[in-house]
Amino acid sequence: MWINNDVEQDAQVADLEALYRARYGHFLRVAILITRDQGNAHDAVQEGFAATIRSFPSYRAEGPLEAWVWRAVVNAAKKQQRHPSEAPLEDDDVASAQNGDAAEARLVRTWIASLPGRQRLTVYLRYYADLDYRAIATVLDVEVGTVSATLSAAHRSLRKTIEEVPQ
């Protein structure tokens, strides 16, 4: 019996390795945004994947494996956080914007900074991790409807920011 379990776990580890190799950059980017430190972010990604392997015996395949990993990485990153809530994009995170794009970049940065921590994390998972609503719900351990409502609120906030900021 334990041999069967071990074989199953080996297959899961192989799947996880494929995910790590394909999406390491995406995990690292979100972890950087949460921890505000590249070294800590790398550490969080490593620890998140390791925690996923350790939790395989209790993994019941409820939801996609990637969402399970994102949850572990986000939790590990939160533990490494320099500040109590997810920090917004700061100048040193931002690639140098071209002249024509500077205004839009500033606007988006302002919008992100204005979001409450939970909304900001949902935005990161939606756009930087490229997760669908169901996966985001698994990561944040909330209902899909909550994710939908959170993103709608964030988008409303962005529209408001666009209207307020003089062009």
Partner 1 sequence: MIDVEPFVRTQLERLMPLPEASGRDWADVLERSGHHHRRRRRSARLAIVLVALALLALTLLVAAPALGFRSVADVFGEEPSPSWTWPEGVPGEPIQVPDIVRSANQQLPAKRLDDRVDLGSVRQIVSAGSAEASDAFLAARGINGDVCLARLGRTGSRGTSGSPFACLDDPPKPGAPSTKDQAVFVGSSAGGHRGSVVDYSNLIGVVRADVGRVELELVDGETIELQLNRWRGFGYSTTDPRRFPKTLRVYRTWNSLFRRHEKLVGQVPLQQVNGLAPTPLCGGKYGPCPEGVTP
Interacting residue ranges for partner 1, rule: CB under 8 A: 2-3, 6, 13, 17, 20-21, 24-26, 28-29, 32-33, 38, 42, 46-47, 49-54, 89, 93-95, 97, 101, 104-105, 107-109, 123, 127-128, 155, 158-159, 162
Q: Closest CB to partner 1 among 54 and 82?
A: 54
- Cα gap 153→157, rounded to integer Å: 6
- In whole angstroms, how close is the CB of 67 to partner 1 at the nearest point? 18
Q: What token pair was written down for 17?
A: 């390795």
- In whole angstroms, how close is the CB of 19 to partner 1 at the nearest point? 11
Q: Closest CB to partner 1 among 72 and 139?
A: 72
Place of tokens 């994710």: 147
Can you say whether residue 71 is alpha, beta or left, with left for phi > 0 and alpha for psi between -120 and 50 degrees? alpha
- In whole angstroms, how close is the CB of 160 to partner 1 at the nearest point? 11
Sign of the torsion angle spanned by Cα atoms 138, 144, 146, 152: positive
Q: Closest CB to partner 1 among 101 and 143?
A: 101
Decide: residue 136, CB within 10 A, 0-12 exposed, 13-18 middle, 19+ buried.
Answer: buried
Q: Closest CB to partner 1 among 127 and 165?
A: 127
Q: What token pair was written down for 2?
A: 């334990």
